[in-house]
Amino acid sequence: MECPEPNTGAMLSLVCLATLLVPSWVATSVSGLLIPVDSYAPSESKAPIAIHYSSGSSSDNAFFTSNITGTFAQGFPGLSNVAATTYAGDAKAVTVLYGQNAQDDLLVNLIIEDSTVVATSLRRNGNRPPNRFQLRLWGDYSTLCAVGSSFVYIFGKGSVKLIVVEQDRFNEVADFAVPVEAEACAATASGTVFFGGNDGAIYSFSGNNIQPGATVQRMNGISVDGEIAGLAIYETPTEPYLLVSVQSGTIEVFRTTQIAHHLSITVSAEEAELEGIAIYQRPLPNYPSGALLVSFDEDSGPKPQRRKGVGIASLSQLGVPLYTSFNPRSSLRNPRPHDRCSKNGFRTSNSQCICFAGYSGNRCEQRSCPNNCSSHGSCASANTCRCNTGWSGADCSYKVINANIETDANGGDGDDPAIWIHPTDRTKSRVLTTTKSEDGAGFALFDLTGHIVAQLPAGEPNNVDVIYNFPLADGRAVDLAVAACRDEDTICILEVTENGLSNLINLPTKDDFTVYGSCVYHSRISDKFYIFVNSKTAEYLQFELKPTLEVELVREFIGGNGGQVEGCVVDDENAVIFVGEEPYGLWKYSAEPDSGNDRILVDSIEGRLEPDVEGVTLIYGKTNNTGLILVSCQGVSAYNIYRRAGNHEYLGTFTISAGTVDRVTNTDGVTAVGTNLGLPGFENGLAVVHDDVNTAQDGTRQSGASFKLVGLGEILGAFSLLDEVDTDWDPRAR
């Protein structure tokens, strides 16, 4: 392969970038992502990356990355002396906030468990633990970036939160709307913040501003084809360059002043997926022009030889003005809290105070907490409640239910559960779960004590539902599990019994359709069976399932406002489907195939819901006008309860805390039945919920996923709702 000159506008592969660095004994391959072995740091997964410029020699510099066991500081592979150090837990995003002096530098993490932002001092104090402080955000957030020495922007579902670091504490300043859910962001030395998400578009705003929401704009001329996985800035004396890592395998380089595409660094989409990206603009041994770091995951070739981790390549081939004296401790000064605002807010040019969250008054002198802590707690500090025992939530309005049973740890990334009810002995009912990650991909079956009964590998199944007494063409009636399988974008169907899972088949959907979530429907009108499958783009497909186990597409529609969808559940008796739109709300449509697109909004994030709106389940009552709907809100790890019928009255919210097993965090799927399952604690039914961070008794995180089993009676009893469900409900009865 002949590598082109960098200034010709030709495509430049990472193989070419690495060629100058490859020892003579390392074989090159056009088909693989080639990172020389002396410039590669393995990790368990693709991850966000941040670089810390130390005030000492280059051997003291480090980069940060994260996996399920923590966030790690590492020296550049083979180049520096930094010992691997574990900081705060599993992070969605990580950045460095530079103080005016090196001793004030902070590592800032967005932690997955509770969308908590954690700041850790990077000052070395011998064997003493570093200073650390944190703030729980009570919402679903995806990435963050720093501006100057005290501003941190945290991106959520169509919104951004500005927080200010001041004297070892976080102050929430402002929330403002943005057009997308950002997957990555980066800031220039002058304070311009760039961000982008799944649609490939890039947006920006002025980050060194106490009212940044007014400056949000789309960067026409800067966009990529695919999902944005990471952003980084290369500073030069004349203009910053924006580097965009695209999940499918390319890194695109843009000029930000002239708004022009500069260069493509390509990695074959069949070879690797990318995530975090970072740039180091100082000379390093073998990298006199600086270094490009990229998090990657090879997905071709023999599995034992596939690489996953952080690779390093030279910046010399980027064809940009060489600038190796970049100092992140720039002259940029953030606005400071003002004395005339009691140092609890900023002062505008017209002498008005903009108070931090939890402060009010002309001089921001009055402290408050959300909803006065709902009379279930006390205001511990501005905007922070200390809840009484049995209550939780930002305003202490969530009832706490304890978890005492969990499934055996299994697979990698779990998602959605279903409950299979035994036809004759309810105590032998089973919990069916999915693992959607490559690690352990497939289905698992558990008994009601949480012990695994059976497993069946499958192509990364996501949401799962059960069809009872399905009439096969050979005359048999069987119980089927149905799921959307992401690996090959198919509908997975398998048979369920108390002893196992069998006869897996994969059915196609339609050309160029990428499956995500699914649910099933048995029509009381036609006695036909249907499968709903959705994609992240909110497209819903409705298929009729034939006795020959073939499907026919009978309907298509867009769910909600077009935001990302996944969870859904169908009320067979009332012929309606409830659709969760993750960034916005819960919708109701007719489930019949000849229906139009008329819909009703049940609730939204402007009401009682919190993003992400994830799992949705229905608990049947004794009539079609009684029963309940449960909806999981991932960002706050809580569950809303609504009436099944009428105007779907909101009845309350609960969260699941630690009992004899660990609490539920970053929850996804949920399912429940009101049927008496014949075991102590399950006389009024069972709820099963996904738990993302599975913590062992010693406090360490387990790699396998788990689901918590909670007696439905304990939940409903806390809200005086026991009479709303049917403990004799039989899914096989008409």
Q: Which residue has the tokens 């949920």?
A: 670
Q: What is the pLDDT of residue 74?
A: 59
Mean pLDDT of 411-424: 92
Q: Residue 199: its pLDDT value, please?
A: 86
User: What pLDDT is attached to residue 65?
Assistant: 65
Q: Does residue 34 register a pLDDT over 50?
A: no
Instruction: Rounding to the nearest 10 degrees, give the CA dihedral for residues 459, 143, 276, 227.
Output: 50
Judge whether residue 8 has pLDDT over 80: no
pLDDT at 68 over 50: no
Q: Find out whether 614 and 668 touch, Cβ atoms under 8 Å.
A: yes
d(CA 475, CA 304): 46
What tens digit of pLDDT does each residue of 102-118 get? 788 888 988 877 788 99
Over residues 228-241, the pLDDT tens digits come to: 999 999 999 999 99
The residues facing 650 across adjacent strands are 642
CATH 2.120.10.30 intervals, the chain: 10-314, 400-724
Choose between 260 and 146: higher pLDDT: 146
Q: Is 174:354 a contact under the CB 8 Å cutoff? A: yes
Decide: helix, strand or coil at residue 478.
strand
More confident residue, 555 or 262: 555
Selection from 140, 78, 583, 84 nearest residue 291 by Cα: 78
**Which of 11-20, 104-113, 436-445 ranks highest by mean pLDDT?**
436-445
Token pair 């800035």 in the structure block, residue: 233
| 392 pLDDT more than 80 | yes
- Phi-psi sector, 384: left (phi>0), alpha (psi -120 to 50), beta: beta
- Secondary structure of residue 171 in the 3-state scheme: strand
- The confidence score (pLDDT) of residue 292 equals 85
Cis ω for the linkage preceding 225 (within 30 of 0): no
Burial of 576 (0-12, 13-18, 19+ CB in 10 A): buried
Q: Find where tokens 């930000």 sit.
A: 256
Top-confidence residue, 221 or 621 = 621
pLDDT band at 57 (very low <50, low <70, confident <90, very high): low
In Å, how far are 45, 64, 142, 146, 336 from 87, measured between CA atoms? 17, 9, 19, 18, 28
Q: Is pLDDT of 13 > 50?
A: no
Segment 63-80 shows an average pLDDT of: 55
Average pLDDT over residues 424-433: 98
Closest CA to 114 of 635, 478, 679, 663: 635
For residue 685, which phi and psi values (nearest 5 degrees)? 105, -175
Give 573-577 contacts, CB < 8 A, sequence gap 24+.
573/524, 573/620, 573/624, 574/624, 574/644, 574/645, 575/523, 575/524, 575/525, 577/519, 577/521, 577/532
Q: Which residue has the tokens 């890194």?
A: 251
Q: Calculate the average pLDDT of the chain.
A: 86
Q: Facing residues of 688 across strands?
A: 671, 709
Given a cut of 70, whether residue 5 has pLDDT beyond it is no
CATH topology of domain 10-314: Neuraminidase (2.120.10)
Q: How far apart are CA 587 and CA 580, in angstroms?
A: 6
User: How much of the chain exceeds pLDDT 90, in percent?
Assistant: 63
SS3 content of the chain, % helix, strand, coil (to 5): 5, 45, 45
Token pair in block for residue 157? 């579902």
> In 409-432, which positions are buried (b, 16+ CB within 10 angstroms) versus exposed (e)?
ebbbbbbbbbbbbebeebebbbbb
How confident is residue 634, by pLDDT bands cut at 50, 70 and 90? very high
Give every CB contact of residue 193 below 8 A, 6+ residues apart in sequence. 145, 147, 153, 185, 186, 187, 204, 205, 206, 207, 212
Q: What is the C-alpha separation between 680 and 677, in angstroms, rounded?
A: 9
Residues contacting 342, CB < 8 A, separation 6+: 359, 363, 364, 365
**How much is the pLDDT for 549?**
97
Cα–Cα distance, 139 to 495 (Å, whole number) = 38
In three state form, how does the secondary structure of 105-160 look? CEEEEEECCCCEEEEEECCCCCCCCCCEEEEECCCCEEEEEEECCCEEEEEECCEE
Phi, psi of 6 (to 5 degrees): -70, -25
Q: What is the pLDDT of residue 10?
A: 35
3-state secondary structure at position 212: helix
> What's the sign of the alpha-carbon dihedral 299, 303, 305, 308?
positive
CA distance 590 to 692: 32
Burial class of residue 668, CB neighbours in 10 A (0-12, 13-18, 19+): buried
Q: Which helix (H) or strand (E) holds 623?
A: none
Q: What's the CA gap between 603 and 184, in Å, rounded? A: 29
Could you tell me the pLDDT band of residue 303, with boundaries at 50, 70 and 90? low
Range in 217-221, 471-475, 709-713 with the lowest mean pLDDT = 217-221
- Per the CB < 8 A criterion, the answer to whether 148 and 332 are in contact is yes
pLDDT of 87: 55
> What's the pLDDT score for residue 88?
56
Residue 580's DSSP bridge partners are: 586
C-alpha distances in Å from residue 639, one per residue of 327, 499, 633, 662: 46, 31, 6, 17
CATH of the structural domain 339-383, one choice from 3.10.450, 2.60.120, 2.10.25, 1.10.3470: 2.10.25
Task: Output the pLDDT for position 76.
Answer: 57
Rg (CA), the chain: 27
* Percentage, residues of the chain above pLDDT 70: 87
pLDDT of 32 higher than 50: no
Confidence of residue 27 (pLDDT cuts 50, 70, 90): very low
Segment 483-511, tens digit of pLDDT = 999 999 999 999 999 999 999 999 999 99
Of the candidates 250, 223, 270, the residue with the CA atom closest to the CA atom of residue 12: 250
> Residue 66's pLDDT band (boundaries 50, 70, 90)?
low
At 692, the pLDDT band (50, 70, 90 cuts) reads confident
Contact predicate 326/315, CB 8 Å: no
CA dist., res. 233 & res. 229, Å (int): 14
Reported CATH class of domain 400-724: mainly beta
**Burial of 367 from C-beta contacts in 10 A (0-12 / 13-18 / 19+):** middle
Lowest-pLDDT range of 48-52, 474-478, 569-573: 48-52
Residue type, 651: L
**622 backbone φψ class: left, alpha, beta (φ>0; ψ -120 to 50):** alpha
Average pLDDT of span 707-724: 98
What's at 85, amino acid-wise?
A: T
pLDDT confidence of residue 347: 95
Q: Is 533 buried (19+), middle (13-18) or exposed (0-12) by CB count in 10 A?
A: buried
Count of residues in the chain: 734
Task: Cite the residue boundaries of each domain of the chain with CATH code 2.10.25.
Answer: 339-383
